[in-house]
Amino acid sequence: MSKRRALITGITGQDGSYLAEFLLDKDYEVHGIVRRIALEDPEHRLSRLKNVLDRVHLHAASLESYASIYQVVTKVDPSECYHLAAQSFVSYSFDDEFSTLNANINGTHYLLAALKQVVPSCRFYFAGSSEMFGKVEAIPQSEQTRFHPRSAYGISKVAGFDLTRNYREAYGIHANNGILFNHESPRRGYEFVTRKITSGVARILGGQTNSIALGNIEAKRDWGHAAEYVQAMWLMLQQPEPDDYVIATGETHSVAEFLDVAFSYCGLDYRDYVVHDPVLFRPAEVNILVGDCSKAKERLGWEARVGFEDLVREMVDADCAKLGIARVAAGSSGLR
Protein backbone atom coordinates (compact mmCIF):
# COMPACT_ATOMS: atom_id res chain seq x y z
CA MET A 1 0.00 0.00 0.00
CA SER A 2 1.42 3.38 -0.99
CA LYS A 3 2.05 6.05 1.60
CA ARG A 4 -0.32 8.95 2.03
CA ARG A 5 1.16 12.13 0.57
CA ALA A 6 0.86 15.45 2.38
CA LEU A 7 1.66 18.87 0.93
CA ILE A 8 2.54 21.61 3.42
CA THR A 9 2.85 25.31 2.64
CA GLY A 10 4.88 27.15 5.25
CA ILE A 11 6.82 23.96 6.03
CA THR A 12 9.90 25.98 7.11
CA GLY A 13 7.99 27.78 9.87
CA GLN A 14 7.23 26.82 13.44
CA ASP A 15 4.00 24.95 12.70
CA GLY A 16 5.21 23.51 9.42
CA SER A 17 8.28 21.91 10.97
CA TYR A 18 6.32 20.34 13.82
CA LEU A 19 3.65 19.12 11.39
CA ALA A 20 6.28 17.60 9.08
CA GLU A 21 7.77 15.66 11.98
CA PHE A 22 4.32 14.55 13.15
CA LEU A 23 3.30 13.29 9.69
CA LEU A 24 6.62 11.52 9.11
CA ASP A 25 6.09 9.66 12.38
CA LYS A 26 2.77 8.51 10.90
CA ASP A 27 4.58 7.25 7.81
CA TYR A 28 3.42 9.96 5.41
CA GLU A 29 5.36 11.04 2.37
CA VAL A 30 5.82 14.72 3.18
CA HIS A 31 6.19 17.46 0.58
CA GLY A 32 6.65 21.15 1.24
CA ILE A 33 6.44 24.36 -0.76
CA VAL A 34 9.31 26.77 -0.11
CA ARG A 35 10.68 29.92 -1.67
CA ARG A 36 13.60 29.31 -4.01
CA ILE A 37 15.81 31.48 -1.77
CA ALA A 38 15.29 28.93 1.02
CA LEU A 39 16.87 26.20 -1.09
CA GLU A 40 19.79 28.51 -1.81
CA ASP A 41 20.36 29.25 1.90
CA PRO A 42 19.36 26.03 3.69
CA GLU A 43 21.52 26.59 6.78
CA HIS A 44 19.41 29.53 7.89
CA ARG A 45 16.09 29.26 6.10
CA LEU A 46 15.60 25.52 6.60
CA SER A 47 17.00 25.38 10.13
CA ARG A 48 13.73 24.24 11.74
CA LEU A 49 13.71 21.22 9.42
CA LYS A 50 17.27 20.12 10.18
CA ASN A 51 16.10 16.95 11.96
CA VAL A 52 14.01 15.77 8.99
CA LEU A 53 15.52 17.53 5.98
CA ASP A 54 16.66 14.26 4.42
CA ARG A 55 13.14 12.83 4.73
CA VAL A 56 11.01 15.59 3.20
CA HIS A 57 10.57 16.62 -0.43
CA LEU A 58 10.82 20.38 -1.00
CA HIS A 59 9.47 22.21 -4.04
CA ALA A 60 10.35 25.78 -4.99
CA ALA A 61 7.24 27.80 -5.75
CA SER A 62 5.56 31.11 -4.99
CA LEU A 63 2.12 31.40 -3.44
CA GLU A 64 1.74 34.57 -5.46
CA SER A 65 1.93 32.56 -8.70
CA TYR A 66 -0.98 30.32 -9.64
CA ALA A 67 1.11 28.63 -12.32
CA SER A 68 3.81 27.53 -9.88
CA ILE A 69 1.24 26.30 -7.34
CA TYR A 70 -0.61 24.36 -10.03
CA GLN A 71 2.65 22.77 -11.14
CA VAL A 72 3.54 21.57 -7.64
CA VAL A 73 0.04 20.24 -6.93
CA THR A 74 0.11 18.33 -10.21
CA LYS A 75 3.52 16.85 -9.45
CA VAL A 76 2.81 15.87 -5.84
CA ASP A 77 -0.83 14.73 -6.24
CA PRO A 78 -1.42 15.04 -2.47
CA SER A 79 -4.09 13.29 -0.46
CA GLU A 80 -3.87 15.99 2.24
CA CYS A 81 -2.85 19.65 1.96
CA TYR A 82 -2.03 21.88 4.92
CA HIS A 83 -1.98 25.57 4.07
CA LEU A 84 0.08 27.22 6.80
CA ALA A 85 2.04 29.81 4.82
CA ALA A 86 1.15 33.46 5.34
CA GLN A 87 2.56 36.83 6.22
CA SER A 88 1.72 36.14 9.84
CA PHE A 89 3.30 38.89 11.95
CA VAL A 90 0.48 41.29 12.81
CA SER A 91 2.67 44.38 13.27
CA TYR A 92 4.14 43.95 9.78
CA SER A 93 0.62 43.87 8.37
CA PHE A 94 0.07 47.42 9.59
CA ASP A 95 3.28 48.52 7.87
CA ASP A 96 2.47 46.83 4.56
CA GLU A 97 -1.22 46.11 4.24
CA PHE A 98 -1.04 45.62 0.47
CA SER A 99 1.46 42.75 0.42
CA THR A 100 -0.21 41.09 3.43
CA LEU A 101 -3.63 41.07 1.77
CA ASN A 102 -2.23 40.10 -1.61
CA ALA A 103 -0.07 37.22 -0.41
CA ASN A 104 -2.47 35.78 2.15
CA ILE A 105 -5.71 35.99 0.18
CA ASN A 106 -4.40 35.17 -3.29
CA GLY A 107 -2.17 32.39 -2.00
CA THR A 108 -5.14 30.65 -0.39
CA HIS A 109 -7.30 31.14 -3.48
CA TYR A 110 -4.62 29.85 -5.86
CA LEU A 111 -4.05 26.74 -3.76
CA LEU A 112 -7.75 25.92 -3.44
CA ALA A 113 -8.29 26.48 -7.15
CA ALA A 114 -5.36 24.23 -8.08
CA LEU A 115 -6.58 21.45 -5.78
CA LYS A 116 -10.10 21.71 -7.20
CA GLN A 117 -8.73 21.43 -10.74
CA VAL A 118 -6.08 18.74 -10.22
CA VAL A 119 -7.01 16.62 -7.19
CA PRO A 120 -10.47 17.51 -5.83
CA SER A 121 -10.40 14.51 -3.48
CA CYS A 122 -7.49 16.07 -1.53
CA ARG A 123 -8.39 17.06 2.01
CA PHE A 124 -7.52 20.67 2.77
CA TYR A 125 -6.63 22.52 5.97
CA PHE A 126 -6.58 26.31 6.22
CA ALA A 127 -4.70 27.94 9.09
CA GLY A 128 -7.13 30.49 10.46
CA SER A 129 -6.30 32.69 13.44
CA SER A 130 -7.81 34.05 16.62
CA GLU A 131 -6.92 37.49 15.19
CA MET A 132 -10.02 37.07 13.04
CA PHE A 133 -12.12 37.75 16.15
CA GLY A 134 -10.28 41.02 16.80
CA LYS A 135 -12.62 43.30 18.76
CA VAL A 136 -14.33 40.38 20.41
CA GLU A 137 -18.09 40.25 20.88
CA ALA A 138 -18.05 37.31 23.30
CA ILE A 139 -15.69 35.78 25.84
CA PRO A 140 -14.61 33.05 25.25
CA GLN A 141 -14.69 32.90 21.46
CA SER A 142 -16.17 29.87 19.72
CA GLU A 143 -16.93 28.83 16.15
CA GLN A 144 -20.18 30.84 16.45
CA THR A 145 -18.55 34.14 17.50
CA ARG A 146 -18.72 36.86 14.85
CA PHE A 147 -15.43 38.04 13.35
CA HIS A 148 -14.33 41.66 13.80
CA PRO A 149 -10.66 41.74 12.67
CA ARG A 150 -8.53 44.77 13.55
CA SER A 151 -5.55 44.35 11.22
CA ALA A 152 -4.86 43.55 7.58
CA TYR A 153 -3.59 40.18 8.78
CA GLY A 154 -6.87 39.42 10.55
CA ILE A 155 -8.85 40.60 7.52
CA SER A 156 -6.80 38.38 5.19
CA LYS A 157 -7.44 35.39 7.44
CA VAL A 158 -11.20 36.02 7.44
CA ALA A 159 -11.07 36.10 3.63
CA GLY A 160 -9.15 32.80 3.61
CA PHE A 161 -11.68 31.30 6.02
CA ASP A 162 -14.55 32.33 3.75
CA LEU A 163 -12.78 31.03 0.64
CA THR A 164 -12.19 27.68 2.33
CA ARG A 165 -15.80 27.40 3.45
CA ASN A 166 -17.01 28.38 -0.02
CA TYR A 167 -14.92 25.69 -1.72
CA ARG A 168 -16.37 23.20 0.75
CA GLU A 169 -19.96 24.24 0.14
CA ALA A 170 -19.79 25.01 -3.58
CA TYR A 171 -17.47 22.28 -4.83
CA GLY A 172 -17.65 19.52 -2.21
CA ILE A 173 -13.96 19.85 -1.24
CA HIS A 174 -13.07 18.35 2.16
CA ALA A 175 -11.95 21.84 3.23
CA ASN A 176 -11.41 22.61 6.92
CA ASN A 177 -10.74 25.79 8.88
CA GLY A 178 -8.66 25.68 12.03
CA ILE A 179 -9.15 28.83 14.11
CA LEU A 180 -5.96 28.50 16.10
CA PHE A 181 -5.30 30.74 19.07
CA ASN A 182 -1.74 31.78 19.89
CA HIS A 183 0.62 28.82 19.96
CA GLU A 184 4.29 29.10 20.81
CA SER A 185 7.43 27.01 21.15
CA PRO A 186 11.22 27.32 21.05
CA ARG A 187 10.81 27.48 17.25
CA ARG A 188 8.75 30.68 17.34
CA GLY A 189 10.13 33.56 15.28
CA TYR A 190 12.12 36.20 17.15
CA GLU A 191 9.77 38.96 16.00
CA PHE A 192 6.87 37.58 18.08
CA VAL A 193 6.47 38.97 21.59
CA THR A 194 6.79 35.60 23.32
CA ARG A 195 10.11 34.76 21.70
CA LYS A 196 11.24 38.36 22.07
CA ILE A 197 10.75 37.92 25.81
CA THR A 198 12.37 34.51 26.26
CA SER A 199 15.35 35.30 24.02
CA GLY A 200 15.64 38.66 25.78
CA VAL A 201 15.84 36.93 29.16
CA ALA A 202 18.64 34.72 27.86
CA ARG A 203 20.52 37.70 26.44
CA ILE A 204 20.15 39.58 29.74
CA LEU A 205 21.54 36.60 31.64
CA GLY A 206 24.40 36.45 29.15
CA GLY A 207 25.20 40.14 29.57
CA GLN A 208 24.35 40.93 25.95
CA THR A 209 21.62 43.45 26.78
CA ASN A 210 19.99 45.04 29.80
CA SER A 211 16.48 45.73 28.52
CA ILE A 212 13.58 44.56 26.34
CA ALA A 213 11.40 47.08 24.48
CA LEU A 214 7.72 46.13 24.45
CA GLY A 215 4.35 47.67 23.64
CA ASN A 216 1.09 46.84 25.40
CA ILE A 217 1.91 44.31 28.12
CA GLU A 218 -1.70 44.24 29.36
CA ALA A 219 -2.94 42.52 26.18
CA LYS A 220 -4.30 39.05 27.01
CA ARG A 221 -3.92 35.95 24.89
CA ASP A 222 -4.69 32.23 24.94
CA TRP A 223 -1.25 30.57 24.61
CA GLY A 224 -0.69 26.90 23.83
CA HIS A 225 2.15 24.74 22.49
CA ALA A 226 2.59 24.53 18.71
CA ALA A 227 3.59 20.85 18.77
CA GLU A 228 0.16 19.99 20.19
CA TYR A 229 -1.75 22.28 17.83
CA VAL A 230 -0.45 20.57 14.67
CA GLN A 231 -2.00 17.34 15.93
CA ALA A 232 -5.39 19.09 15.86
CA MET A 233 -4.78 20.04 12.21
CA TRP A 234 -4.27 16.40 11.30
CA LEU A 235 -7.30 15.25 13.28
CA MET A 236 -9.55 17.64 11.33
CA LEU A 237 -8.56 16.00 8.06
CA GLN A 238 -9.31 12.52 9.42
CA GLN A 239 -12.98 13.29 10.06
CA PRO A 240 -15.71 11.98 7.72
CA GLU A 241 -17.04 15.50 7.15
CA PRO A 242 -15.12 18.80 6.90
CA ASP A 243 -15.81 21.56 9.42
CA ASP A 244 -14.44 24.57 11.31
CA TYR A 245 -12.78 24.24 14.71
CA VAL A 246 -11.44 26.55 17.40
CA ILE A 247 -8.16 25.23 18.81
CA ALA A 248 -7.19 26.81 22.13
CA THR A 249 -6.37 26.15 25.78
CA GLY A 250 -9.36 28.01 27.20
CA GLU A 251 -7.08 30.05 29.45
CA THR A 252 -6.00 33.65 29.04
CA HIS A 253 -2.82 35.30 30.28
CA SER A 254 -1.47 38.80 29.81
CA VAL A 255 1.90 39.66 28.31
CA ALA A 256 2.80 40.88 31.82
CA GLU A 257 2.10 37.39 33.17
CA PHE A 258 4.30 35.89 30.45
CA LEU A 259 7.05 38.30 31.49
CA ASP A 260 6.58 37.40 35.14
CA VAL A 261 6.94 33.66 34.53
CA ALA A 262 9.93 34.04 32.20
CA PHE A 263 11.91 36.43 34.39
CA SER A 264 11.07 34.94 37.77
CA TYR A 265 12.12 31.53 36.43
CA CYS A 266 15.59 33.05 36.23
CA GLY A 267 15.41 34.88 39.56
CA LEU A 268 14.75 38.29 37.98
CA ASP A 269 12.05 40.95 38.20
CA TYR A 270 10.84 41.91 34.72
CA ARG A 271 10.02 45.44 35.86
CA ASP A 272 13.75 46.11 36.12
CA TYR A 273 14.29 45.34 32.44
CA VAL A 274 11.19 46.15 30.37
CA VAL A 275 11.12 49.45 28.48
CA HIS A 276 7.73 50.58 27.18
CA ASP A 277 7.97 51.76 23.58
CA PRO A 278 4.88 53.58 22.20
CA VAL A 279 5.97 52.70 18.67
CA LEU A 280 5.25 49.03 19.44
CA PHE A 281 1.60 49.62 20.28
CA ARG A 282 -0.83 48.55 17.55
CA PRO A 283 -2.96 51.24 15.86
CA ALA A 284 -6.00 49.07 16.70
CA GLU A 285 -5.38 46.79 19.66
CA VAL A 286 -6.92 43.39 20.29
CA ASN A 287 -7.18 43.36 24.07
CA ILE A 288 -8.31 39.85 24.96
CA LEU A 289 -8.47 36.54 23.13
CA VAL A 290 -9.49 33.26 24.76
CA GLY A 291 -10.92 30.27 22.94
CA ASP A 292 -13.73 27.82 23.62
CA CYS A 293 -12.44 24.55 22.18
CA SER A 294 -15.27 22.33 23.44
CA LYS A 295 -16.21 21.36 19.87
CA ALA A 296 -12.66 20.14 19.15
CA LYS A 297 -12.65 18.20 22.40
CA GLU A 298 -15.97 16.55 21.62
CA ARG A 299 -15.52 15.87 17.89
CA LEU A 300 -11.74 15.42 17.57
CA GLY A 301 -10.87 14.18 21.05
CA TRP A 302 -8.28 16.98 21.24
CA GLU A 303 -7.38 19.20 24.15
CA ALA A 304 -4.28 21.14 25.17
CA ARG A 305 -2.07 19.45 27.76
CA VAL A 306 1.03 21.66 28.05
CA GLY A 307 0.42 24.31 30.73
CA PHE A 308 1.21 28.00 30.37
CA GLU A 309 4.12 28.07 32.83
CA ASP A 310 5.65 24.89 31.37
CA LEU A 311 5.50 26.44 27.89
CA VAL A 312 7.21 29.66 28.99
CA ARG A 313 9.91 27.80 30.89
CA GLU A 314 10.60 25.47 27.95
CA MET A 315 11.15 28.50 25.73
CA VAL A 316 13.45 30.17 28.27
CA ASP A 317 15.48 26.98 28.68
CA ALA A 318 15.83 26.61 24.90
CA ASP A 319 16.98 30.21 24.41
CA CYS A 320 19.48 29.93 27.26
CA ALA A 321 20.82 26.70 25.74
CA LYS A 322 21.19 28.41 22.35
CA LEU A 323 23.50 30.98 23.93
CA GLY A 324 25.28 28.45 26.12
CA ILE A 325 23.98 30.16 29.26
CA ALA A 326 23.31 28.44 32.57
CA ARG A 327 19.94 29.61 33.84
CA VAL A 328 19.97 31.11 37.36
CA ALA A 329 17.97 29.03 39.82
CA ALA A 330 14.42 30.31 40.26
CA GLY A 331 13.70 31.90 43.59
CA SER A 332 17.09 33.48 44.17
CA SER A 333 15.41 36.85 43.70
CA GLY A 334 12.59 38.48 41.77
CA LEU A 335 8.88 37.67 41.63
CA ARG A 336 7.17 34.52 42.80
Domains 5-183+222-247 and 189-221+252-289+307-322 share a fold: no
* Tens of pLDDT, residues 117-132: 999 999 999 999 999 9
pLDDT tops 70 at residue 94: no
* Tens of pLDDT, residues 231-248: 999 999 999 999 999 999
The pLDDT value recorded for residue 87 is 75
Calculate mean pLDDT across residues 150-160: 94
93 pLDDT band, cuts 50/70/90, is very low
Handedness of CA 191, 155, 62, 13 (dihedral sign): positive
What type of residue is 80? E
162 pLDDT band, cuts 50/70/90, is very high
- Which architecture characterizes domain 189-221+252-289+307-322 according to CATH? Alpha-Beta Complex (3.90)
* Tens of pLDDT, residues 178-191: 999 999 999 999 98
Calculate mean pLDDT across residues 145-153: 94
Cα 20 versus chain centre, distance: 14
Q: What percent of the chain has pLDDT over 70?
A: 91
The pLDDT value recorded for residue 66 is 97
Delimit the domains of the chain by residue range.
5-183+222-247, 189-221+252-289+307-322
Q: In this structure, how many other beta carbons lie within 10 angstroms of the beta carbon of residue 144?
A: 10
C-alpha to C-alpha distance for 202 and 269, rounded to whole angstroms: 14
- The upper half-sphere exposure of residue 37, i.e. CA atoms within 13 Å in the direction of its Cβ, equals 3
2 pLDDT band, cuts 50/70/90, is confident
Q: What percent of the chain has pLDDT over 90?
A: 81
203 pLDDT band, cuts 50/70/90, is very high
- In this structure, of 108-112, 264-268, 326-330, the range with the lowest mean pLDDT score is 326-330
37 pLDDT band, cuts 50/70/90, is confident
The pLDDT value recorded for residue 310 is 98
Q: Which CATH superfamily is domain 5-183+222-247 in?
A: NAD(P)-binding Rossmann-like Domain (3.40.50.720)
* Tens of pLDDT, residues 250-284: 999 999 999 999 999 999 999 999 998 777 665 55
The pLDDT value recorded for residue 332 is 40
- In this structure, of 28-42, 90-104, 191-205, 322-336, the range with the lowest mean pLDDT score is 322-336
Q: Which active-site residues does the annotation give?
A: 129, 131, 153
334 pLDDT band, cuts 50/70/90, is very low
